[in-house]
Chain A
């Protein structure tokens, strides 16, 4: 590590080239796997392993540098900017899927049903009998082709619950769990700022636990959907948007939980983070808040007004 003058200039690093190779191997393996090639899974696994090792080393290096006081305030600010813009890119990724949901509900389904003055002939010629409702239980294919339809809608959907049994409505519990975890992670933050190590560990531990609970409930929801509700990725536009939105969110919760877990272990085992220096944790908690905000969007647009 070279620190020249007031400026920070890192030395060479083997990490990026291995990371590129690992990333390539992962996606190349995934593509082969999906296309049915026998060595796909192996390549995918190997790539994932390389990535894991590289990331482990990469983060260790960054942490070591920081612990050794090599990071200038300027570099620390760069990390802050980096994380902030990364989260912005994630926002845009979700925006694409929310956009798709919006478009399907507000444009393509009504048009398929002949609403709007420029598509009145669509159902008449192509999908006789189709009506636009959300959640979409009867796909255009079913309306037009009955038994012979290839794309079937779900038997049941996830939306709104009646007032009486709202407490047995899983999405509500998921919301409560995730909202709470956003609060607890905030408590952890205030704790570490006051140098309250015990409080930090406790609140962060609870947050991680809540993350796992959320994931468990989400898994349960999927199992019920597939086994009992006839709701799958293949059940038309409803299943498509439901699983893609909640699925990507779930993947992000998994990522976030792992990040927070690592932070918790670092604090528990190594005593990392100080009252004036805890960006690693902060970055993870920003990510967590972001995931939480996405969920609120999901809860409203996928479940409540579903």
Chain B
């Protein structure tokens, strides 16, 4: 019994001691405590967390201390005789009032912090964050820049066929870039199911509810890369939709935005070109392996019944418009790729699907067809 109580106590003490080292980078592997983060709010929250933790430790020391004492001192084996008291109004009042006082002490700073977190007014920059199964879309409101961000860890690492990198599962193809020393407001929503956008270092965690906009904000002082994950069960790949935020000084941010705009213009421009069949096929194969193979498999055989085969698929061998529609707009369980792939990529992957895996329609598709389709032509 004694041992048991002791071990409990040791756990508690262990927690408090080790937490002192948690901040040092080199013990990251044995991370034991919440990050202090890089914003005012995140540090306040860390403070609240430590305050309430120490209160709990203190109460625990008293309660478990008395328990351990009595378990040693009042054993029958040691000849203890049982007393017979069973009531004391004074005690009852005391241990009702003292906890209430402690709670009030805690609640005041908590309320203050909460009010701060909720103050989303007067942002310098608005980013619309939309959760999709299983990627994020970032749109800089009224800035003509938007893109998708999805997991970039290769399947081989996940299935233990290749060694895992340090940012295993916490790396994306396109990071969200924000300026430092600016109030950035996140307008968070979702396209399908509920997700939650969480970056521990910013202490921002907000559910992405389809059909509603939730607001949150951050003000990052130091440039850096901050990683997080989707924090609401959203289906099969919930564990595989990370978030990476890169905070950079304003000037760098502006330059980045310009590059993004140019890239968007280039994509629009590229959509006007005409490609040869071989170009389309080759590029299509690359797109397929990157975006489609996870479900439809590299050999095009799929995983029926959940993920249909492309090889011999009635759609990939049938009406072209139906095929375009399925790829751009998705279907039951098939995500929409219309916004994620450029017209060139879409045209390429569809051409590829219609001519690979033994499919032999011979048909090809030009980027402009995709642009027209999107405009309802």
**A–B contact via C-beta, under 8 angstroms:** yes
* Contact assessment for A119 and B212 in the assembled complex, using a CB-CB cutoff below 8 Å: yes
Q: Could you list 23 examples of A-B contacts with CB < 8 Å?
A: A111-B212, A112-B211, A112-B212, A118-B118, A118-B120, A118-B214, A118-B215, A119-B212, A119-B214, A119-B215, A121-B187, A121-B215, A122-B212, A122-B213, A125-B128, A125-B141, A125-B187, A125-B189, A126-B211, A126-B212, A126-B213, A127-B211, A140-B211
A118-B118, A126-B212 are known contacts; what are 15 more A-B pairs with Cβ within 8 Å?
A112-B211, A112-B212, A118-B120, A118-B214, A118-B215, A119-B212, A119-B213, A119-B214, A122-B212, A122-B213, A125-B128, A125-B189, A126-B189, A127-B211, A140-B211
Contacts of A112 in B (CB 8 A): 211-212
A119 vs B212: C-alpha distance when bound (angstroms): 8
Q: Which of chain A's residues 113-128 have a Cβ closer than 8 Å to chain B?
A: 118-119, 121-122, 125-127
- CA distance in complex: A50, B212 (Å): 47
Find out whether the CB atom of B213 lies under 8 angstroms from the CB atom of A125: yes
Contact with A along B205-235 (1 / 0, CB 8 A): 0000001111100000000000000000000
By CB atoms of chain A within 10 A, which of B118, B189, B211, B214 has the most?
A: B211
Residues of B within 8 A of A118 (CB): 118, 120, 214-215
Q: For the complex, would chain B's binding face be called helix, strand, loop or mixed by DSSP majority?
A: loop
Most buried by B among A119, A122, A140: A122
- Inter-chain contact count A-B, CB under 8 Å? 27
- Which residues of B pack against A, CB within 8 Å? 118, 120, 128, 141, 187, 189, 211-215
Shortest beta-carbon distance from B332 to chain A in Å: 15
> Which residues on A sit within 8 Å (CB–CB) of B212?
111-112, 119, 122, 126
C-alpha spacing A111/B187, complex, angstroms: 14
Q: How far is the CB of A124 from chain B (nearest CB, A)?
A: 8
Bound-state Cα–Cα, A254 to B230, Å: 48
Q: How far is the CB of B339 from chain A (nearest CB, A)?
A: 15
Least CB distance, B327 to chain A, in whole angstroms = 20
- Interface set of A (CB-CB < 8 Å, partner B): 111-112, 118-119, 121-122, 125-127, 140
Contacts of A111 in B (CB 8 A): 212
A122 to B118 CA separation, bound complex (whole angstroms)? 16
Q: How far is the CB of A269 from chain B (nearest CB, A)?
A: 56
Question: CB-nearest residue of chain B relative to A125?
Answer: B213
Residues in chain B near residue A119, CB distance under 8 A: 212-215
Chain B residues whose C-beta falls within 8 Å of the C-beta of A126 in the assembled complex: 189, 211-213
CA distance A126 to B188 in the complex (A): 11
* Bound: A127/B118 CA distance, A: 23
Smallest CB-CB A-B distances: 8 pairs: A122-B213, A121-B213, A121-B187, A122-B212, A125-B213, A125-B128, A125-B187, A118-B215
Give the distance to chain A from B38, nearest Cβ to Cβ, in Å.
25
Residues of A within 8 A of B215 (CB): 118-119, 121
How many angstroms from the CA of A121 to the CA of B214 in the assembled complex? 8
- Of all chain B residues, which has the CB nearest A141? B211
Residues of chain A within 8 A of B214, CB atoms compared: 118-119
The smallest C-beta distance from B191 to any residue of chain A, in angstroms, reads 10
**Within 8 Å CB of B189, what residues of A?**
125-126
Q: How far is the CB of A296 from chain B (nearest CB, A)?
A: 33
| Complex CA–CA separation, A122 to B214 (angstroms) | 8
- Complex CA gap A125/B189 in Å reads 10
Q: A140's closest neighbor in chain B, by CB?
A: B211
In Å, the complex CA distance between A261 and B211 comes to: 48
In the bound assembly, the distance between CA atoms of A140 and B187 in angstroms comes to 19
A125→B128 CA distance, assembly (Å): 9
Residues of A within 8 A of B141 (CB): 125
Q: Report A156 CB to chain B, min CB distance, Å.
A: 25
Separation in Å of the B214 CB from the closest CB of chain A?
A: 8
The complex places the Cα of A111 from the Cα of B189 at a distance, in Å, of: 14
Nearest residue in A to B118 (C-beta to C-beta)?
A: A118
Closest A residue to B185 by CB, please name it.
A121
- Name the residue among B141, B189, B213 with the largest chain A CB count within 10 angstroms: B213
CA distance A127 to B211 in the complex (A): 8
Q: Roughly how many angstroms separate A202 CA and B214 CA in the complex, as a whole number?
A: 61
How many angstroms between the C-alpha atoms of A111 and B215 in the bound complex? 13
The chain A residue with its CB closest to the CB of B119 is A117
Q: Which of B118, B120, B212, B215 has the most CB of A within 10 A?
A: B212
Identity of the chain B residue whose Cβ is nearest the Cβ of A124 in the assembled complex = B213
CA separation between A105 and B189, bound complex, in Å? 21
| Chain A residues positioned under 8 Å from B118 (CB to CB) | 118
B205, chain A: closest CB distance, angstroms: 16
Q: Which of A125, A127, A140 has the most CB of B within 10 A?
A: A125
Which chain B residues lie closer than 8 Å to A122 at the CB level? Answer: 212-213
> Of A111, A119, A126, which is in contact with the most chain B CB atoms at under 10 Å from its CB?
A126
